[in-house]
Amino acid sequence: MPMRGKDATTTTCLCAYGFRITVLAACLLLVSTTARSRQRNDDSTRPFTFVELNCENLFDNSHDTLKQDTEWMSESPRHWTYKRYRQKLNNIGKEIIACGENDGNWRLPDIVALCEVENDSVLRDLTRRSLLRTSRYEYIVTESPDLRGIDVALLFSPSSFRLISHRSIRVKPLKNMRPTRDILYANGLIISGDTLHIFVVHAPSRYGGEHSTRPYRLQVAKTLASAIDSIYSISPDAAILVAGDFNDYHDDPAPHLLYRHGLQNITADAKGSNGALGTYKYKGEWRSIDHIMASPKMSRRVTRSYISDPMFLLEDDEKYGGKTPLRTYNGFKYKGGYSDHLPLVARFGLEVAE
């Protein structure tokens, strides 16, 4: 079982040399595993489900003196009580469980990339004290310099993803740029015998204007692209997945930079089955600022990608019409919902290594 929490998550800047050593070790393990595998056939293909979800402020109600999190306490204007926190945990758990439904069949997602989670305690509660408590998910989480204490995390089933290593990649701030979330990097063996490289991203928001904040998101993309290039330099046909809240649309400059570094957006055209045309609705318009990107090796294995929008995640949009995500709060009014983002789901068909 991997170590978790502050002692387990690297919070210093990622050294390029150390990153290349980590990738090289993972690739050598892949070569060894592949050499032992026998010939496969179509009957050995198995489904593999990857989910991305921005949880929208998944905070506990305890104050971290090093972070600006007093908004999420019992005595705050939001009255963020322990009861409300526990309800939020169960809501997120229910949302993840629903992503396992597939044409009448159900199987718990293999990997879940999460944005807007506060800390290790929240992830422990989510995996051990919510509706996910019997899932046997393990997790890793960053410890970023974000002023509010927002982090990214990865849930994974150890039977589907055997963790090899993980690191936090620090994004160097530009002038006038506030410290942002670390990029979470993890690699591990999947059922096909491949080493899967995963990056979880939560880029800076557009607060202050899209154009003026664009360089900040490009800085995150450049940092990520450098890490991806390091993987490709050692393993040109690497299996890579990148997921998260990019705060950009699929045709914006930062995503396009990543496309030029060997990634394909496998959810650019994803839609829901109950009217969701994007993961996020702003002023009546559905758009997606959440994305799952993949290397060619993983893109070839995609069987389906979509937005999970069961009716319990939606409510009537009284101002603009249609439906909108059912949030935990609308302003300061508590609604007891889920998130302002809907989950992205990507399904893959993987051949099982014998």
**pTM of the shown model:** 0.88
More confident residue, 36 or 328: 328
* Count of CA atoms in the C-beta half-sphere (13 A) of 292: 31
Q: What is the 3-state secondary structure (H, E, C) of 22-83?
A: HHHHHHHHHHHHHHHCCCCCHHHEEEEEEEEEEEEEECCCCCCCCCCCHHHCCCCCCCCCHH
Q: Mind listing the pLDDT tens digit for each residue in 48-66?
A: 999 999 999 999 999 888 8
Among 62-71, 83-92, 175-184, the range scoring the smallest mean pLDDT is 62-71
Q: Mind listing the pLDDT tens digit for each residue in 182-230?
A: 999 999 999 999 999 999 999 999 989 999 999 999 999 999 999 999 9
The Cα–Cα gap between 312 and 114 comes to 20
Over residues 97-102, mean pLDDT: 94
Quick one: tokens of 69? 């999190």
3-state secondary structure (DSSP) of residue 93: helix
Pairing label, strands 183-190, 151-156:
unpaired
3-state secondary structure (DSSP) of residue 171: coil
User: What pLDDT sits at residue 64?
Assistant: 87
Q: Is 202 left (phi over 0), alpha (psi -120 to 50) or beta?
A: beta
User: What pLDDT sits at residue 65?
Assistant: 86
3-state secondary structure (DSSP) of residue 319: coil
Q: How many C-beta neighbours within 10 Å does residue 14 have? A: 21
Residue-by-residue DSSP string for 256-314: HHHHTTT-EETTTT---SSS-SSSEEETTEEE--EEEEE-HHHHTTEEEEEE---GGGE
Average pLDDT of the chain, as a whole number: 90
